[in-house]
Amino acid sequence: MASLETEKSNDKPQVVGVQELIDRIRSEGVAKGRNEGESLIAAAREEAVKILDAARKEAEQICSAARAEAAHLQKNAEDALRLAARDAVLALNEAIRTDFIAKVRRMVSHTMQDRAFLERLILEVARRAMPEDAGKSIEVLLPNDLVTYDELKKNPQDVAENSLSRFVLELSGDILREGLTFVPAEDDRPGLRVQLKDQDVEIDLTDEAVADLLMEHLAPRFRALMEGSQT
């Protein structure tokens, strides 16, 4: 009986020792797990910080590139607008200039077909073109739609009183002997042409020539007016 109790009392230390070992192993495992968990959490946090830093830097780079691209696009847009505005102004100026030239030509052409003006022009040409040498010959070419060969062959009394041909015929009677003659041109261009027969020289006083001469005189003033209106 006593020996049995002794054996039971001897088993308790063994059981207690095993339990302590289990508890110690469990405690160490928990502590190790906790340490490993904390290490993993710390590593995760560190990795998260790195990821955030990298994401922040990438975002800053993207924003910087976007700002640079936006500035580039804005500059290109401003340059395009300036170029478009310049082209529009040039096109407008050219359109105005073309219209101005056309109006000058129409005005000159209309004036050159006016009988009263032509008479004054013929008188002035006759006065200035009168040859100084008797041997020289000068012809004044008139528009053939106003003066014809048939009319110039007639006597002044046989031609309509208010026609340009009659005026020319009456004038020719006074200056024909001086070497200045009037003949119809081969076309009906408004205006006059003076030919120095012996020198093969022609002075063009048609509507186109006079309009070109006027434009040479008016172009600088027209350009200055247009440039002044843009300032």
Residues in the chain: 231
Determine the Cα–Cα distance for residues 107 and 208; give it in Å rounded to an integer: 11
- Which pLDDT belongs to residue 4? 47
Determine the Cα–Cα distance for residues 99 and 89; give it in Å rounded to an integer: 15
> 195: how many CB neighbours lie within 10 A of its CB?
20
List average pLDDT for each run of 10 residues in the chain, which is 231 residues long.
50 61 68 76 87 91 92 93 91 88 88 82 75 66 72 60 66 61 78 76 83 84 71 55
Query: Cα–Cα distances in Å, from 26 out to 44, 126, 155?
Result: 26, 137, 148
- Which pLDDT belongs to residue 66? 92
- Which pLDDT belongs to residue 38? 81
Using a cut of 0.75, tell me whether the model's pTM lies above it: no
- Which pLDDT belongs to residue 172? 64
Token pair, residue 16, equals: 């207690």
CATH 1.10.10 for domain 113-220? no
- Which pLDDT belongs to residue 83? 93
Decide: helix, strand or coil at residue 63. helix
- Which pLDDT belongs to residue 210? 87
- Going from N- to C-terminal start, the domains of the chain cover 1-85, 113-220
Task: Provide the b/e sequence for 86-124 (b: ≥16 CB within 10 Å).
Answer: eeeeeeebeeeeeebbeebbeebbebbbeeeebeebbee
